[in-house]
Amino acid sequence: MDRLVGHNRITSQALTSIAQASAAEYFDVGPADVRVSWSDDGGLLALSLALPIGVPPLTAVVRDPQRVAASGGPIWDRAVAGRAAILARVSELSGSTLGRVDIRMTGTRHSVAGRVQ
């Protein structure tokens, strides 16, 4: 087998797009709603996200309390679980090793059908 010489590089913009799409999908918001920043975490990448979270309308929850569970559970639980899920997804798609993911919820957005995963 011939060995190819060269290197591949993933730009910071590509990493940012991957992080935005992963977080947007997980939290049921648009990618444009997700702000991403990167920093060093002892030689690994640290990902910081600031975004709203998709939630069912309160009137829908009053009519059907199961909508909370169907949307992924309480906001705090979703944020905690989201850190590991987004870390794994961004690492899988980019091949980069992330040391940690920090999430700051900036608000809520009404979701129509709840989260699908």
- The span from the CA of 36 to the CA of 88, in Å, is 16
Helix 12-27 crosses helix 75-94 at what angle (to 10 degrees)?
A: 140
Residues in Cβ contact with 2 at an 8 Å cutoff, skipping those fewer than 6 apart: none
- Report pLDDT for 115: 47
101 domain-assigned: yes
116 domain-assigned: no
Phi/psi of residue 109, nearest 5 degrees: -135, 140
Tally of structural domains, the chain: 1
44 domain-assigned: yes
Domain that holds residue 92: 13-110
106 domain-assigned: yes
74 domain-assigned: yes
- Report pLDDT for 111: 76
Residues of the chain with pLDDT under 70: 1, 112-117
61 domain-assigned: yes
4 domain-assigned: no
- Report pLDDT for 116: 43
117 domain-assigned: no
Q: Which of 15, 21, 26, 18 is nearest to 81 (CA)?
A: 26
The enclosing domain of 22 has a CATH number of 3.30.70
